[in-house]
Amino acid sequence: VRADRNHYSKSLIESQDEVAEMRKKFKIMGHQIEQLKEEIAAKDQALVKEHFDYQRAEKLREHVQNELNRKNQLLKGNHDLLQQQDNEIHRLAATIRKMDDEALAQRKEYDQVISERDIIGTQLIRRNDELALLYEKLHVQQSALKAGEIQYNARI
């Protein structure tokens, strides 16, 4: 009976040790479960934060993309306007060259007309001098004719 009792006592102690160890393991497992729950909660919060950060970054990317598209359209519009203005400048430059050519031709024609006017003016002065000389000769001849007439009438 003593051997049975020792055996049972030993089994009881072993069972109690096992129970104590199981409780210890259960406590450790409980702590590990709590730590894992806290870790899961932290990771879940981090995931939610990352999700919001991603959404914010996505909205920012869309905003930047829209702004880039708007700027590209504005740049294209400015490029088109610049091209139109460049074409207008070339057209106006051609018009200015044409007007300069016309002004040069008119200046040459004006200079030619002035030259002809001066020549005709000089000829007119000469003709007036000749006419004055002819009038003077005519006057002298008329005076001589009157004097001759008077002498003729006086003789007759």
pTM of the model: 0.48
**In sequence order, which residues have a C-beta less than 8 Å from that of residue 131 and are 6 or more positions away?**
none
DSSP string, the chain: -HHHHHHHHHHHHHHHHHHHHHHHHHHHHHHHHHHHHHHHHHHHHHHHHHHHHHHHHHHHHHHHHHHHHHHHHHHHHHHHHHHHHHHHHHHHHHHHHHHHHHHHHHHHHHHHHHHHHHHHHHHHHHHHHHHHHHHHHHHHHHHHHHHHHHHHHHH-
The pLDDT score that the predictor gives to residue 156 is 78
Average pLDDT for consecutive 10-residue bins of the chain (156 residues)? Answer: 89 95 96 97 97 98 98 97 98 98 98 97 97 97 95 90
- What's the pLDDT tens digit per position in 136-145? 999 999 999 9
The pLDDT score that the predictor gives to residue 92 is 98
| Torsion 114-115-116-118 (CA) sign | positive
